[in-house]
Amino acid sequence: MSSMIDAPTVEVLAAEGFAGELLRPADPGYEEARRVWNGVIDRRPALIARCLGGADVARAIRLAREADVPATVRGGGHAVAGHAVCDGGILIDLSLMRAARVDQRRRTVRAQGGCLNSDLDRETQSFGLAVTSGVVSHTGIGGLTLGGGIGHLMRKWGLSIDNLVSCDVVTADGRLVVASEEENPELFWGLRGGGGNFGVVTSFEFRLHALGPTILCGMVAWPMDQAPKVLGLVQELAAESPDELGVVAALRLAPPLPMVPAGLHGKPIVAAILTYAGPVEEGEAVLRRVRQFGRPAFDAVAPKPYTAHQRMLDPGAPQGLHYYWKSHELPALTDDMIGIVHEHAARMTSPLSLVPVFMMGGAVSRVPEDATALPNRDAVYNINITAAWQPDDPEPERHVAWVREFHKALEPYGIGVYVNFTSDDTPERIREAAYGPDKWKRLVALKDEWDPTNFFRHNANIPPSE
Ligand SMILES: Cc1cc2nc3c(=O)[nH]c(=O)nc-3n(C[C@H](O)[C@H](O)[C@H](O)COP(=O)(O)OP(=O)(O)OC[C@H]3O[C@@H](n4cnc5c(N)ncnc54)[C@H](O)[C@@H]3O)c2cc1C
């Protein structure tokens, strides 16, 4: 298959005015460009087309069609399943498209499809503005937004998709279209949760909100034997807290970070990552309840730049480790569920693994269920059981087994799965748990209209009808 993308073919693409970089396997930079976040993924595309804009994306799509080779789209390369890259195909790489421009008057930002969270946060925070983005700075806004976009600010301002105003899209037949409430509204509905199934989004326009730049935020942690009580507290917070409070609980072995006392490194902890999306003084009063709960092993909550908070978790998710994860959306944290979470987290097989539990609700739950393609607005928690290990680990299977057993034990309680936290989930699970029958029907109709040949299939796939 890869022989179809030979040197003359690449020359034709260049001669047709492709403005970005074209990398074939022997070219300098190819090895680095084919890598994604999950080091388990080791695939070799025939051509990496590093696009500079919509025109390049359209040319790369046309080339893949003419050469009859598969194409993948890379935003930030964070999909754990490695959807951004395949063997022998064309990788449509957006990583040179990372510009963002704030319109202060309209309070919006237009961000190119290859932006990372850090690009979006940096530009918007320069104006004291923000929109929900993910909790690790090097995740791509492309995949993150198209799947929903959960983050520290979501309870106050909703998911990333709830702030989308419009998208510039290159379609499967290489056309450039706009999707918004006014133009192609059904496509706009599908892009908000349906992933990369309908086209390549070359730029996203988001509504912005005033935030910071200094906010009260950071991590408080307790020894892991306190997990049942701390998760019980989180359950109370979900019911009683103002929307300004963001909470991500995390169970893991304490990393050797400066904020963690040396005596705690490598010990099991339960942490609460707290964000107050409002004035610092107001936040002091709200966060006191958590910070004074039990006897924390450390409390690193302080007024900080929001952009620093957005980078705080980066060391826990480095590029290139080997990863495997599975996830559930949960309606509550009952004593039974807390018992399961604690029991399995305490048996973690790798010091690099972690179990984040995102507290949902607030503005996320107030968006009508049918407003976007993203389902399960009533989920109160999102748990992502994440195993990480060194590439030379002689027994990786035990980490994968830990995730699977943990996930299975929670299965009776799960009400769905967030599509961006899927991995090797079956097509049935994508259909039933990530979308459900009603959304699925509407998404398939949209796929029939915009991508009837399933050109965009390296994703949590929504195939067209037969
Ligand atoms: C360390 C880490 C932290 C995370 N934290 C969060 C979080 O806080 N919140 C959250 O919601 N999710 C989070 N995620 C999950 C994340 O949303 C998904 O992994 C998402 O797929 C990442 O998008 P990406 O562009 O980086 O990935 P990629 O692997 O590049 O892309 C993922 C999918 O989206 C498609 N795609 C990407 N960009 C575009 C585009 N511009 N147009 C069309 N299709 C595109 C790709 O083809 C692929 O199918 C995290 C993931 C990791 C690894």
HEC per residue, 377-444:
CCCCEEEEEEEEECCCCCCHHHHHHHHHHHHHHHHHHCCECCHHHCCCCCHHHHHHHHHCHHHHHHHH
Cross-strand bridge partners of residue 21: 50
Q: Distance, CA 119 to ligand 1 centroid (Å)?
A: 15
Same topology, domains 100-210 and 214-421? Answer is no
C-beta 149 within 6 A of ligand 1: yes
Maximum C-alpha span of the chain = 68
- Name the CATH topology of 214-421: Vanillyl-alcohol Oxidase; Chain A, domain 3 (3.40.462)
From the CB of 147, is ligand 1 less than 6 Å away? Answer: yes
Predicted pLDDT at 16: 78
| Distance (Å) from CA 247 to ligand 1 centroid | 21
pTM over 0.85: yes
Ligand 1 and 143: CB distance under 6 A:
yes
pLDDT value for 4: 65
Closest by Cα among 251, 274, 254 to 356:
251
CA separation (Å) from 456 to 137, 189, 232? Answer: 26, 17, 42
Per-residue tokens: 390: 């060194």
- Tokens coding 52: 């500079």
Query: Along the 466 residues of the chain, how does pLDDT read in single tens digits?
Result: 444 677 777 777 777 789 999 999 999 999 999 999 999 999 999 999 999 999 999 999 999 999 999 999 999 999 999 999 999 999 999 999 999 999 999 999 999 999 999 999 999 999 999 999 999 999 999 999 999 999 999 999 999 999 999 999 999 999 999 999 999 999 999 999 999 999 999 999 999 999 999 999 999 999 999 999 999 999 999 999 999 999 999 999 998 888 899 999 999 999 999 999 999 999 999 999 999 999 999 999 999 999 999 999 999 999 999 999 999 999 999 999 999 999 999 999 999 999 999 999 999 999 999 999 999 999 999 999 999 999 999 999 999 999 999 999 999 999 999 999 999 999 999 999 999 999 999 999 999 999 999 999 999 999 999 7
Tell me phi and psi for residue 380, to 5 degrees.
-95, -25
Q: How far does the centroid of ligand 1 lie from the alpha carbon of residue 145, in Å? A: 8
Report pLDDT for 9: 74
**Residue 441 CA to ligand 1 centre (angstroms):** 24
Q: From the CA of 336, how far away is ligand 1's center (Å)?
A: 32
How far, in Å, CA of 27 to CA of 18, rounded? 17
Ligand 1 atom nearest residue 136's Cα: 3
Query: Ligand 1 mean position to 308 CA, how many Å?
Result: 21
CA dihedral 319, 321, 324, 329 (to 10 degrees): -40
Regarding the beta carbon of 220 and ligand 1, being less than 6 Å apart is answered no
* 191 pocket-lining for ligand 1 (C-beta < 6 Å): no
Q: 150 CB less than 6 Å from ligand 1?
A: yes
Assess whether the C-beta atom of 300 lies below 6 angstroms from ligand 1: no
User: How many whole angstroms from 141 Cα to the centroid of ligand 1?
Assistant: 7
Looking at the DSSP bridge assignments, the partners of residue 48 are: 23, 91
Residue 393 has a CB neighbour count (10 Å cut-off) of 16
Domain boundaries, the chain: 2-93, 100-210, 214-421
Mutate to test the pocket of ligand 1, among 90, 146, 422 (most ligand atoms within 8 A of CB): 146
Going by DSSP bridges, is the β-strand pair 354-359/381-389 parallel, antiparallel, or unpaired?
Answer: antiparallel
Cis peptide before 213 (omega within 30 of 0): yes
C-alpha 421 to ligand 1 mean position (Å):
9
Residue-wise burial string across 64-95, b where 16 or more C-beta atoms lie within 10 A, e elsewhere: bbebebbbbbbbbbbbbbbbbbbebbbbbbbb
Domain covering 100-210, topology: 3.30.465
Nearest CA, atom 28, ligand 1? 77
Which of 144, 319, 422, 454 has the most ligand 1 atoms within 8 A of CB, as the residue to mutate? 144
CATH architecture of 2-93: 2-Layer Sandwich (3.30)
Ligand 1 center–CA 115 separation, angstroms: 11
Contact 231, 197 (CB under 8 A): no
Residue with CA closest to ligand 1 atom 12: 144
Residue 73 CA: which ligand 1 atom is closest?
Answer: 47
What's the rounded Cα separation, in Å, for the pair 133 and 365? 17
Burial of 133-144, coded b for 16+ CB within 10 Å and e otherwise, reads bbbbbbbbbbbb
For residues 51 and 92, is the Cβ–Cβ distance under 8 A?
yes
**Which pLDDT score, from 0 to 100, does residue 2 have?**
44
